[in-house]
Amino acid sequence: MLRAFTARRIAAAAAYGGGGITAIGGVTFGLIVMEAKLARRIIQATPYGDPPAADGVYGEASGGPPLSLVMLGDSTAAGLGVHTPEETPAARLATGLAAIAGRPVRVTNVARSGSRSQALGGQVDQALQTRPDIAVIMIGANDVTGRVPPAESVRHLSDAVRRLRAAGAEVVVGTCPDLGSVKPLMQPLRWFARRASRQLAAAQTIAVVEHGARSVSLGDLLGHEFAADPLSMFSEDRYHPSARGYAAAAAAVLPSMAAALGLEPDLPGETARPVSLAAAEAVERAGTEVSGASVAGADRGRRGRWATLRYPLRRPLRRALGRPLSGGVAAAGALIGALAPARLATRLRTRSRPAPETGG
């Protein structure tokens, strides 16, 4: 209840003006600043150039007019930390979406490393030139590390979602990741980073759903796998995801994209509840989608917009192990290979491999 109340306050401050809330001060703040500088030194010790350019058309063999997918946000949306375009989240999402839609997908990535939510305005200007069918936004981590007031961050995100929706694009937002999972951070910085990033993620969810878009909680996605195998789930800087980490994020976001475009029916959702409560629950379970709902024909109740939670991460496994995707086994194998983490991909490819032919 406390997180829901906090998220609601941040979202309200974003909508009506004000600085939101802050939770750190005094001696504690000084300690955190020192630890943040140390963590930044560790992270920046691994040099990176620009992320691989993923712009282009995917699934051209499918034929037909391509869907337009635009990526907005920070280094996570841009794909910093991997070495080839195919490993970026944009390419993984486009490959999967093309397999589901049975038509090509044209990717335009306007995300930029280091971006805070304030940069979304300019990115939307670029995105609208492509007349996107769907936009994916991943933003928030740099707002937390840059100590941007959460209400200010949410205000910029709200404006971006509103403009994209007004232009006819479907929008899916991957909310702020849980920075408490980043290895170079020590206590108490790790605790405060987790708290701040989860508060921002919940407030982002409220704003996103209010404007008719969907949010997907990235949180500490596959947290147990990250904790057990951080060397393969994080890239060399121990801050940005590796190819496997991006695959996990793409696997969570893709089903929401397909449902938003009407390519797949929505999974049954949990009982509708006020969006602030749904947002607070979503940050506790990475991979959770929050979208708008109605109760007795009404979109809003006494406590605000109605929303429901779904768990898209369950869907790719059922789809891969059940009926084939458009394009048959080959398309299903391409989707699994593009999206599933290594251990799951191996297991699923084994299950979906066709039986050997017999006879002469």
| 3-state SS, one letter per residue, for the chain | CHHHHHHHHHHHHHHHCCCCCCCCCHHHHHHHHHHHHHHHHHHHCCCCCCCCCCCEEECHHHCCCCEEEEEEECHHHHCECECCHHHCHHHHHHHHHHHHHCCCEEEEECCCCCCCHHHHHHHHHHHHCCCCCEEEEECCHHHHHCCCCHHHHHHHHHHHHHHHHHCCCEEEEECCECHHHCCCCCCCHHHHHHHHHHHHHHHHHHHHHHCCCEEECCECCCHHHHHHCHHHHECCCCCCECHHHHHHHHHHHHHHHHHHCCCCCCCCCCCCEEHHHHHHHHCCCCCCEEEECCECCECEECCEEEEEEECCCHHHHHHHHCCCCCCHHHHHHHHHHHHCCHHHHHHHHHHHCCCCCCCC
Q: Out of 75, 113, 197, 242, which one is annotated catalytic? A: 75
Contact 78, 113 (CB under 8 A): yes
CB proximity list for 265: less than 8 A, separation 6 or greater = 259
Select from 232, 254, 253, 252 the least CA-distant residue to 244.
Answer: 232
Beta 289-292 vs 300-301: how paired, if at all?
unpaired
The DSSP bridge partners found for residue 134 are 69, 170
Determine whether 240 is an active site residue: yes
Q: Out of 74, 133, 178, 237, which one is annotated catalytic? A: 237
Instruction: Give the span between the Cα atoms of 303 and 348, in whole angstroms.
Output: 43
Determine whether 215 is an active site residue: no
Q: Out of 143, 178, 240, 242, which one is annotated catalytic? A: 240
Determine whether 75 is an active site residue: yes
Positions annotated as catalytic residues are 75, 237, 240
